[in-house]
Chains A and B, each alone.
Chain A
Amino acid sequence: MSVLRIDQLTKNYGAIRAVDHLSLTVEAGNIYGILGPNGSGKTTTLGMILGITHPDSGSFSWFDSPDPHSARRRIGALLETPNFYPYLNAVDNLKIVAAIKGRGEEAIEEHLRLVRLHERRHSKFKTYSLGMKQRLAIAGALVGDPDVLIFDEPTNGLDPEGIAEVRETLMKIAARGKTVIMASHILDEVEKICSHVAIIKRGKLLATGTVGAILSNNVTVEIGAADIQALKRLIQEEEELHFVSESGDRLILDAEAGFSAERINEVAFKQGIILTHLSVKQRSLESEFLEITRQN
């Protein structure tokens, strides 16, 4: 069953096209990352599928159902900033969330424990630090045990400790088998947490697929030697290595997955070239992302 199907969704703000004929499908159980630079239309897209922004054209459906309101009660979402009644405490705020979702209030204490706000549950929302507010928003998204969770830049504005805490909480949630949709401009975050990714820029979908598929299997090899020219000639004879660039006394190479560092070391040694440096790196989403966004 598809959880979310977006079809040709478009939104203009005056002359600016924030979202441009965007189509994508999220299946049950996906940890789906929407990756794009700031201002690429991530939040606008989430705003439309969550009912707060009216699309100019296109459509979307949740759980293959035509009724978006009852669908939203099966979704827990944190969009941009945490929004709560400042004069109410954590428990009372979550009770309002439960009332809107038409769910019981029993699990509220448990959610507050999960985000480690249980001790401060009777303090007013306005007395919370940004990290605590963000964590309350995550607890709010969990109320009613939703099938789908949506997080928009969940670590924005947090200090390193806060970021680590939020990520840890997200991983815990993902481990429960929920479908998670997460918008982020932080590649590392998407790479660590997500199973699927859609890359968008200026409101357009550039690429979509599993994180593994977007990440090609190739590796980056960095190699260095005292005699860099001899090394270069050696590389040209090797079929599985492709020259990418040269920096100082090092060469950056592209290689197929399964490339053996041992063999190149052996070959070079036989030719009388002593390697001063050899490293093999998995290609990161960052390099793929830059590659994809540069092409477009």
Chain B
Amino acid sequence: MLKLLNLEWQKQRKHRIFHVLIGMYVLLLPTTILPVKSIPELPPPINSPDALFQFPTVFTYIGYAGNWLSFFFLGFFAVLLATQEYSYRTMRQNIITGLSRNELFKSKISFLITLCLGATLYYFLVCLFYGFTHTDNYYLSTITKNIDYIPRYFLMCLGYSSFGFLIGLLIRRTGIALFLYLAYVMFIELILRWLIHMKIFANKSMHFYPMNAIEDLAPVPFAEVAETFRDENGFGFFLTPTEAMIASSIYIVLFIFFAQRLMLKRDL
């Protein structure tokens, strides 16, 4: 397995797009929320901009920033991880050279999982850094209060990237695949929800759509918004963390399963 992971690393380590996308993620994760510092006071419930940088809420704010960043940069990279092997015809060449289709699949997926683990570790380190430098008094319990954000964050990264990878394999053409990935996450799922239920938000079914479930792993950190919604509609605006984790895990398994089927069955 390590050999297969290393094979993908050999393909990517000098790849400029890989450097750019991962570099953007690394650069933007700690910096996107910095401009908030210049605002003296924020409306309730946040009040002080320091809440964004302090334990335990730092996990939710950086987590939400990471939600967007992993959707863009990790997801894009996952799409390219699939489509470029088609456009360069190197997937075909890898098989001819002696890789089995399943080995090629394992090589790609293990690389994506490793990348998501790395992205999560980086997120954890950024949170710790801001937390320790901005929180005056903290106990172990303040730090660990939102610690469930760590596995949630990992599932979120893997959710976006396994979905992007599947889209890439399905479409094979980089441009169209990237567009479809973006469009699905940003509005096709909403349109589907409306077409099927004639409602976008005010229907409990919205939770069970894949990208919604994955988004809810690190949702918008304004709990009060969700509370008002619950009072009006009788069900929560976001999935509970456990619900989101279970739903996302099921989707991830499905995405990876279909990706494997495609790679094993298709003529190259």
A53 to B268, Cβ gap below 8 A? yes
Q: Is A58 positioned at the interface, with any CB of B under 8 Å from its CB?
A: no
Number of A-B contacts (CB under 8 A): 72
Q: Is B32 positioned at the interface, with any CB of A under 8 Å from its CB?
A: no
Docked CA distance A129–B190 (Å): 48
Stretch of A23-31, A83-91, A285-293 at the chain-chain interface: A83-91
Kindly supply a per-residue 1/0 record for chain B positions 224-237, scoring 1 wherever the CB is within 8 Å of any chain A CB and 0 otherwise: 00000000000000
Residues in A neighbouring B11, C-beta threshold 8 A: 85, 88, 96
Q: Is A72 positioned at the interface, with any CB of B under 8 Å from its CB?
A: yes
Docked CA distance A135–B15 (Å): 23
Kindly supply a per-residue 1/0 record for chain B positions 59-102, scoring 1 wherever the CB is within 8 Å of any chain A CB and 0 otherwise: 00000000000000000000000000000111011111111110
Say whether, besides A79-B96, A101-B97, A92 and B88 are in contact (CB < 8 Å): no
Q: Is A104 positioned at the interface, with any CB of B under 8 Å from its CB?
A: no
Residues in A neighbouring B103, C-beta threshold 8 A: 69
Residues in A neighbouring B265, C-beta threshold 8 A: 54
B10 to A52, Cβ gap below 8 A? no
Docked CA distance A192–B172 (Å): 40
Say whether, besides A52-B92, A72-B97, A99 and B267 are in contact (CB < 8 Å): no
A76 to chain B, nearest CB (A): 8
Say whether, besides A52-B92, A73-B98, A83-B93, A99 and B268 are in contact (CB < 8 Å): no
Residues in B neighbouring A47, C-beta threshold 8 A: 267
Give the one of B94, B96, B103 with max A CB within 10 A: B96
Give the one of A69, A85, A97, A101 with max B CB within 10 A: A85
Contact of A100 among B16, B89, B97, B268 (CB under 8 A): B97
B93 to A84, Cβ gap below 8 A? yes
Kindly supply a per-residue 1/0 record for chain B positions 88-132, scoring 1 wherever the CB is within 8 Å of any chain A CB and 0 otherwise: 111011111111110100000000000000000000000000000
Q: How many of A's residues come within 8 Å of B, CB to CB? A: 29
Docked CA distance A100–B103 (Å): 10
Q: Is B242 positioned at the interface, with any CB of A under 8 Å from its CB?
A: no
* Residues of A58-88 whose CB lies within 8 A of B: 69-70, 72-73, 75, 77, 79, 81, 83-88
Residues in A neighbouring B92, C-beta threshold 8 A: 52, 79, 83
B13 to chain A, nearest CB (A): 9
A51 to B96, Cβ gap below 8 A? yes
Say whether, besides A50-B95, A75-B98, A88-B14, A100 and B267 are in contact (CB < 8 Å): no
Contact of A52 among B3, B14, B95 (CB under 8 A): B95
Tell me what chain B mostly uses at the interface: helix, strand, loop, or mixed: helix
Q: Is A167 positioned at the interface, with any CB of B under 8 Å from its CB?
A: no
Residues in B neighbouring A21, C-beta threshold 8 A: none
A54 to B267, Cβ gap below 8 A? yes
A85 to B7, Cβ gap below 8 A? no
Residues in A neighbouring B267, C-beta threshold 8 A: 47, 52-54
B111 to chain A, nearest CB (A): 14
A87 to B97, Cβ gap below 8 A? no
Q: Is A95 positioned at the interface, with any CB of B under 8 Å from its CB?
A: yes
Q: Is B48 positioned at the interface, with any CB of A under 8 Å from its CB?
A: no
A83 to B14, Cβ gap below 8 A? no
Q: Is B144 positioned at the interface, with any CB of A under 8 Å from its CB?
A: no
Q: Is B6 positioned at the interface, with any CB of A under 8 Å from its CB?
A: yes
Binding site for A on B (CB under 8 A): 3, 6-7, 10-11, 14-16, 88-90, 92-101, 103, 265, 267-268
Binding site for B on A (CB under 8 A): 47, 50-54, 69-70, 72-73, 75, 77, 79, 81, 83-88, 92, 95-97, 99-102, 140
Top-8 shortest CB links A-B: A73-B98, A83-B93, A72-B98, A83-B89, A69-B100, A52-B268, A100-B97, A50-B96
Q: A54-B265, A96-B10, A99-B10 are in contact. List 17 more A-B contacts (CB 8 A).
A: A52-B95, A52-B267, A53-B267, A54-B267, A69-B98, A69-B103, A77-B97, A83-B93, A84-B88, A85-B15, A85-B88, A86-B88, A92-B10, A99-B3, A100-B7, A100-B99, A140-B97
Write 28 A-B pairs (CB below 8 A) sorted by A numbering. A47-B267, A51-B96, A51-B101, A52-B92, A52-B95, A52-B267, A52-B268, A54-B267, A69-B100, A73-B97, A73-B98, A75-B98, A79-B93, A83-B88, A83-B89, A83-B92, A83-B93, A84-B88, A84-B90, A85-B88, A87-B16, A96-B7, A96-B10, A96-B11, A99-B3, A100-B94, A102-B98, A140-B97
